[in-house]
Amino acid sequence: MLSLPKKLMVLGAGELGKEFVIAAQRLGNTVIAVDRYDNAPAMQVADAREVISMLSAEDLERVVSKHQPDYLIPEIEAIRTEKLAEFEQRGITVIPTAKATHYTMNRDRIRDLAHRELGLRTAKYAYASSLAEMQTVAQDIGFPQVVKPVMSSSGKGQSVVHSSAEVERAWQAAIAESRGDSQKVIIEEFIPFELEITLLTIKQWQGPTLFCPPIGHRQERGDYQESWQPARLTPEQLQQAQAIAATVTNALGGAGIFGVEFFVTAEEVIFSELSPRPHDTGMVTLISQNLNEFELHLRAVLSLPIPEISLYGPAASAVILASEAASSVSFQGVEQALSQAGVDLRLFGKPDTRPYRRMGVALARADSTDLAREKAQWAANQVQVLP
């Protein structure tokens, strides 16, 4: 029988980590939030905090030895994953597993697993480790194409390339935003999709794999701007997406929530990417479901029951962005945003700003996804981020 509380160490203390910390503490657990800068959002609600470079094996060893957590829960990509495998061998549970974390921290490994090992349909793709190599590969893939660092998050460093004249700019953007010590990019064909979706997939230590209703999302500059639930899929499309998600997550193993992304075209559902943790587009579940993605992640990690995942009704999220760099943050318009029924906000508590940095999210419910999207976007537009 499970005994609580447990001690959880969250590696990555952003807004997603913050909501996970809150979920964990509601069930009495102790949480240590770790990130590369102080006063990160999850640190503001955690029991303890540590500021380290998670690419440093020595720093990781120091904080893990100090706190002796039961679980290590990565929330970002830039982590020395070889060290996680060592911790796992010493009896600390890594979520979902050290192997899965190693695979999913890099787009090349997860893409090769999906396409080459599991035989799943993906966009045509190739890799490059230099500008010269990328210029050659770009011609083979054809235009338009999408270029991404193999190691990044939230669309950072991603760009659409329409001609050979844009290749060098895309290379520089990808390398500038690459996390860790990677100098490698992935070039993939542009899929003329009708819809991008995230299928939140919950893998349990024991018990069946579960799914949340599909989430539609829209990106700009490679980063999520709004999401809505449920996304409009045919029963056949949903069944296909669930089968692909189950195949990939079963191959990775472990337990927890996975954000599995797909392109949906008129003819097929195509695997895109996967994150082994709560997904930014899944913040809509903070208002849409009986159990949000952070609560589901926690329950799967701790082997707690998930008897039901139910959707309250159509819902949407819209991001609140900063427009300039500043060393302090304040907000105006919160009272206007909250004046409508069915609207809620999350302001993340990030200590500073930069252009397009995500500082909060507006959440809304309505009678249809279209109305929920309108309401969420209206609420987000009321909130001004000020220095």
**Sorting pLDDT into bands at 50, 70 and 90, what band is 106?**
confident
Query: Tens digit of pLDDT for each residue in 330-371?
Result: 999 999 999 999 999 999 999 999 999 999 999 999 999 999
Q: What percent of the chain has pLDDT over 70?
A: 98
Q: Start-end ranges of CATH 3.30.470.20 in the chain? A: 195-386
> Which pLDDT score, from 0 to 100, does residue 153 have?
62
d(CA 359, CA 183): 29
**Sorting pLDDT into bands at 50, 70 and 90, what band is 151?**
confident
- DSSP annotation string for 171-206: HHHHHHH--TT---EEEEEPP--SEEEEEEEEE-SS
Enter the pTM of the model: 0.94
Q: Which of 97, 182, 281, 288 is catalytic?
A: 281
Q: Which of 223, 273, 352, 374 is catalytic?
A: 273
Query: Tens digit of pLDDT for each residue in 265-322?
Result: 999 999 999 999 999 999 999 999 999 999 999 999 999 999 999 999 999 999 999 9
Mention every residue, 6+ apart, whose C-beta is less than 8 A from residue 132. Answer: none
**Sorting pLDDT into bands at 50, 70 and 90, what band is 201?**
very high
261 is catalytic: yes
Architecture, CATH, for domain 124-189: 2-Layer Sandwich (3.30)
Nearest to 341 by CA among 365, 362, 318: 365
* Beta strand 185-189 pairing with 7-11: unpaired
Q: Which of 47, 109, 155, 333 is catalytic?
A: 155
3 is catalytic: no
155 is catalytic: yes
Nearest to 63 by CA among 50, 72, 53: 50
Q: Which of 299, 358, 365, 373 is catalytic?
A: 358
Three-state DSSP class for 384? Answer: strand
> Which pLDDT score, from 0 to 100, does residue 182 have?
66
Q: Which of 50, 188, 196, 280 is catalytic?
A: 280
111 is catalytic: no
Nearest to 97 by CA among 107, 106, 87: 87
Q: In the CATH hierarchy, which fold is given to the domain comprising 7-94?
A: Rossmann fold (3.40.50)
> Which pLDDT score, from 0 to 100, does residue 155 have?
66
d(CA 142, CA 283): 35
* Beta strand 330-332 pairing with 384-386: antiparallel
Q: How far is CA 20 from CA 229, 294, 295, 359, in A?
A: 20, 5, 7, 17
Q: Where are the alpha helices (DSSP H) in the chain?
A: 15-26, 57-67, 81-89, 98-104, 107-112, 131-141, 167-177, 235-252, 285-288, 293-301, 334-337, 369-382
Q: Start-end ranges of CATH 3.30.1490.20 in the chain? A: 124-189
Q: Start-end ranges of CATH 3.40.50.20 in the chain? A: 7-94
pLDDT over 90 (residue 24):
yes
179 is catalytic: no
168 is catalytic: no
CATH number belonging to the domain at 195-386, selected among 3.30.70.1140, 3.40.50.1000, 3.30.470.20, 3.30.200.20: 3.30.470.20
273 is catalytic: yes
**Sorting pLDDT into bands at 50, 70 and 90, what band is 2?**
confident
Q: Which of 177, 261, 293, 295 is catalytic?
A: 261
Query: Tens digit of pLDDT for each residue in 64-94?
Result: 999 999 999 999 877 888 999 999 999 999 9
Please provide the average confidence, as pLDDT, over all residues in the chain.
95
> Which pLDDT score, from 0 to 100, does residue 154 have?
61
d(CA 234, CA 264): 11
pLDDT over 90 (residue 28):
yes
